[in-house]
């Protein structure tokens, strides 16, 4: 087992789709990449951000990295750190989560005010959709591979809905209760 360390508390991690790289962020606001093919992986600092990183995600092909920051920004860039990243700013709330659809064609962000937004990575001018409020306590948010379904999990409740056409939220059964 490889050990990957930061000087401060780690608050977000993501494993590349091929399992060869681990990306981490910590309270020191650094984002580091570890090459897990090495017996003793040494960190490569990818970036240092002005805000606290709360979520990291690789695209399905491993070429892009999505970074969500508590200050309301989401940054999309190349996973090797080259080139300039594109930033989107959420107005009026802090981001808590960000994820790619499995196919990598869309991004979903969740904020502390309970709102979710679906974005096209190449066009950060505005969201494709701003689904109605789900929960202010979203712990997980995911898009289906084609982006046609949105799943959220908040505490003990999972909800799913169609994104095209926009459907109503459907609560999934609580696994703690017999059906």
Average pLDDT across the chain, whole number: 76
Q: Which of 29-33, 84-88, 136-140, 149-153 has the lowest mean pLDDT?
A: 136-140
The pLDDT score that the predictor gives to residue 18 is 92
Per DSSP, what are the bridge partners of residue 111?
A: 95
Q: How far apart are CA 100 and CA 26, in angstroms?
A: 21
Share of the chain above pLDDT 90, in %: 2
Residue 138 pLDDT greater than 50, yes or no: yes
Residue 32 pLDDT greater than 70, yes or no: yes
Average pLDDT, integer, range 65-83: 82
Q: How confident is the model at residue 1 (pLDDT cuts 50, 70, 90)?
A: very low
Q: What 3-state class would DSSP assign to 110?
A: strand
Residue 141 pLDDT greater than 80, yes or no: no
pTM for this prediction: 0.77
Long-range contacts of 145-151 (CB under 8 A, 24+ apart): 145/101, 145/102, 145/103, 146/101, 146/103, 146/105, 147/101, 147/103, 147/105, 147/106, 147/118, 150/108, 150/116, 150/118
**Helical H runs in the chain?**
none
Identify which has the larger pLDDT, 20 or 153: 20
Q: Which of 3-7, 41-45, 65-69, 116-120 has the lowest mean pLDDT?
A: 3-7
Q: Which of 66-70, 90-94, 95-99, 129-133 has the lowest mean pLDDT?
A: 129-133
Q: How confident is the model at residue 136 (pLDDT cuts 50, 70, 90)?
A: low
Average pLDDT, integer, range 124-136: 54
């Amino acid at each position: 087992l490889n050990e990957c360390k930061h000087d401060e508390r780690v608050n977000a991690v993501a494993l590349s789709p091929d399992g060869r790289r681990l990306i981490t962020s910590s309270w020191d606001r650094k984002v580091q990449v570890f090459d897990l093919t090495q017996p003793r992986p040494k960190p490569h600092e990818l970036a240092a951000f002005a805000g606290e990183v709360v979520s990291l995600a690789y695209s399905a092909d491993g070429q892009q990295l999505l970074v969500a920051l508590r200050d309301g920004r989401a940054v999309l860039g190349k996973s090797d750190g080259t080139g300039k990243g594109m930033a989107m700013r959420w107005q009026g709330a802090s981001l808590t989560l960000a994820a790619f659809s499995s196919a990598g064609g869309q991004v979903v962000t969740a904020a502390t005010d309970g709102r979710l937004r679906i974005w096209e990575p190449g066009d950060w001018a505005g969201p494709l959709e701003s689904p109605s409020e789900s929960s202010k306590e979203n712990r997980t948010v995911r898009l289906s591979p084609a982006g046609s379904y949105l799943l959220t999990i908040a505490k003990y409740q999972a909800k799913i809905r169609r994104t095209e056409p926009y459907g109503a939220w459907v609560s999934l059964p609580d696994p703690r209760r017999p059906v």
